[in-house]
């Protein structure tokens, strides 16, 4: 029987902007790392427990898509409202996109049931 992860991180990329595969991968990595660094830098003991447990479970991640900047922002705000660690990535504009373009968010690592309240209806990227 397959073990279901109790913890995960959802990474959400915008699908309405043109990004190469490499650019999309870099933006996803930025979002994932920033969310983890947010936890490390915080004093939130619950977030620290979630991070430790997620690491023990092999760091499940899922990459999803948002259809617009507005949807990405709404998802980010919903994650924050629920008390979840979340990062919001704005591109520096050095390569493919205009400076300040919102490209990605990460939600979690956190309990899968909480992350799914924010990103559970999204399609895979």
- The answer to whether residue 34 is domain-embedded is yes
H or E segment and range at residue 39? helix 21-41
Q: In which domain, by residue range, is 20 found?
A: 7-119
pTM recorded for the entire structure: 0.95
- The answer to whether residue 125 is domain-embedded is no
**Both tokens assigned to 99:** 């400076």
* Tens of pLDDT, residues 25-55: 999 999 999 999 999 999 999 999 999 999 9
Does the pLDDT value for residue 5 go beyond 80?
A: no
- How many domains would you assign to the chain? 1
* Tens of pLDDT, residues 96-115: 999 999 999 999 999 999 99
Q: Name beta bridge partners: 13.
A: 65, 104
CATH assignment of the domain containing 13: 3.40.1490.10
- The answer to whether residue 100 is domain-embedded is yes
Does the pLDDT value for residue 65 go beyond 60?
A: yes
pLDDT value at position 64?
A: 98
By DSSP bridging, strand 61-66 and strand 86-90 are: unpaired
pLDDT value at position 4?
A: 66
pLDDT value at position 1?
A: 39
């Amino acid at each position: 029987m397959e073990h279901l992860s109790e913890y995960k991180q959802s990474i959400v990329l915008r699908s309405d902007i043109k990004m190469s595969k490499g650019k999309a991968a870099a933006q996803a990595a930025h979002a994932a790392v920033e969310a983890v660094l947010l936890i490390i830098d915080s004093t939130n003991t619950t977030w620290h427990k979630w991070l430790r447990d997620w690491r023990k479970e092999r760091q499940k991640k899922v990459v999803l898509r948002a259809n617009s900047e507005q949807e990405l922002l709404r998802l980010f705000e919903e994650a924050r409202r629920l008390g979840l660690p979340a990062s919001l990535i704005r591109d520096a504009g050095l390569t493919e996109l205009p400076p300040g373009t919102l490209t990605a968010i990460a939600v979690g690592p956190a309990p899968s049931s909480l992350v799914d309240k924010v990103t559970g209806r999204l399609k895979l990227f």
